[in-house]
A and B are shown apart, each in its own frame.
Chain A
Amino acid sequence: MDASDQLWIRCPRLGGETVFSYCLREAGDLPCHRIIACWQVYFPIEKYLKDRFTPQQWEEFQGRRPKEKLSSLLELIDEAQKNTEGQ
């Protein structure tokens, strides 16, 4: 366990407690889109992320705005249909 695992927060998306290191990798290559909103009260998370990111990565992170639920459902249906074609 690293020290970031000592930073615990209640995750409003999962409905349970989670550690900072999970927030950092929630979206695979990028952190959870809520990471700044959730952690900025506790420490300068935005600066921390900017220090870690290349400008391109920061731009990609900033650009990943979550979509409305129905829009994301429709996109996932399209994607799922492609994934299951020929099965």
Chain B
Amino acid sequence: MEQRKIVLPDSEIPRQWYNIVADLPTPMSPPLHPGTGKPVCAEDLAPVFPMNLIEQEVSTQRWIDIPEPVLEKYLLWRPAPLCRAINFEKLLDAPVKIYYKYEGASPAGSHKPNTAIAQAYYNKAFGIKRLSTETGAGQWGSALSMACAMFGLECRVFMVKISYEQKPYRRLMMATWGGECIPSPSDRTQAGRNILAQHPDSPGSLGIAISEAIEDAVGNKDSRYALGSVLNHVLLHQTIIGLEAEKQLAQIGEYPDVVMGCAGGGSNFAGIALPFVRDKIHGKELTIVGAEPTSCPTLTRGPFAYDFGDIAMSTPLLPMHTLGHGFVPEPIHAGGLRYHGMAPIVSHLVKEGLVEARAYDQIETFTAGVQWARCEGVIPAPETNHVIAAVVEEAKRAKQEGKQKTILFNFSGHGMIDLASYDSFLSGKLTQHRLSDEEIARALKDIENFPKP
């Protein structure tokens, strides 16, 4: 019988996080303060982060000890199992071995607690009493609520109002863990009140929620703000994923040819990838892929404007020329990982050619996720579906090339709180194809009189 799970004993949990900044072949440019144009200094960030986390944010030390109280909490579910997806391998019928790090085993169901717990600990150690944050669908807000409960901190989560209304389960998770989940915009902050004065029925946005969370932190000396992705210290905390995976693969004498993760803000991708990027910097040959979302369907991926026009001319089923709109789409940079919300470290690694990006649209990601669920059992979080789509593509590539490959990916979370998303996909509610003239006319008719901006 082939081994399905590689489990590390508690005693083997990594005791240090890995900081890639120490090994970058080309140093990153220091971030500049938009107001002064000078490099950002610790004091600039002090109103929102405790100094011990700011030190990690700017650290160039290669290994950073994980404090014992953080390790104690990690041990509730870590080391996370490394699993082999044998059924999925059979389904794909390609010469690949697929291993995945299962982060859905955490109490909050995702990788987010890896940094939430560390951030709660450091804030507590700095004397902070309350953390504020923003959340979209609630994955980060619920993880931070849990972490705050574990360290006796208050937690305030400003949740984008449209998600607050659509996603009751994560706010209930927050409430269960003692977090206060507030629909944003709210009347708790000046930023929220300003929005409500202009747009009383505002559905909120991530930008407004961030403004509220920061104002909530800045306005109270005992409060700070916590961010669940993008920043260096967040990525640092997530490296425990890849460090465990390295040990687990070594146990069975394996090393990956391809390491993959989905990349929204970059934290779960960095978590699995950075320890392997270190190996690549030091001469190992492997491919490291971040899978990101795009609205651009598979057929049109690549040099978008060219492919799009080419395809549109080749088939009457595709709409743009037949619509008579003279529409020329703005080029989409497929697989960039360079947009503003991406972690600077990840963008830097793409620029250096150490990491590559691939993009997958909503339909192919859900299709891959449903395939996965039907043979491996676990229903993936919608974000996780991006990397599963990347695994499917990589397996097809291996088959075409006739090469045996070992793929390692980060299964960043389960989707049991996201079943409404699966309903949208399975019921065909998600927009699945280019719209015909008639469909566009029908869909947009009723918003002709929609308040114009």
A22–B162 contact, CB under 8 A?
Answer: yes
Please report the C-alpha to C-alpha distance between residue A10 and residue B163 in the assembled complex, in whole angstroms. Answer: 12
Pick the residue among A13, A21, A53, A79 that contacts B447 (CB under 8 A).
A21
Q: Which of B135-184 contact A (CB under 8 A)?
A: 136-137, 139, 160, 162-163, 166-167
B218–A81 contact, CB under 8 A?
Answer: yes
Q: Using Cβ atoms and an 8 Å threshold, which residues of chain B touch A77? A: 44-45, 47-48, 214, 218
Chain A interface (Cβ < 8 Å from any Cβ of B): 2-4, 6-18, 20-22, 24-32, 36-44, 46-48, 52-53, 57, 61, 66-81, 83-84, 87
Q: Which of B350-385 contact A (CB under 8 A)?
A: 361-362, 382-383
B293–A31 contact, CB under 8 A?
Answer: no
Pick the residue among A10, A27, A29, A48 that contacts B362 (CB under 8 A).
A10
Min CB gap A17→B, angstroms: 5
Pick the residue among A16, A18, A47, A68 that contacts B31 (CB under 8 A).
A68
CB < 8 Å A-B pair total: 209
Q: Using Cβ atoms and an 8 Å threshold, which residues of chain B touch A68? A: 31, 340, 344
Q: Using Cβ atoms and an 8 Å threshold, which residues of chain A touch B139? A: 15
Number of interface residues of B (CB under 8 A): 84
A sample of 30 inter-chain contacts (CB < 8 A) reads A2-B446, A6-B443, A8-B429, A14-B160, A14-B206, A15-B136, A16-B136, A16-B421, A17-B424, A25-B451, A26-B203, A28-B202, A37-B332, A40-B332, A41-B295, A41-B434, A44-B325, A44-B327, A46-B330, A53-B452, A53-B453, A66-B340, A70-B231, A73-B45, A74-B33, A76-B211, A77-B44, A77-B47, A77-B218, A80-B191
Q: Using Cβ atoms and an 8 Å threshold, which residues of chain A touch B294? A: 37
A16–B320 contact, CB under 8 A?
Answer: no
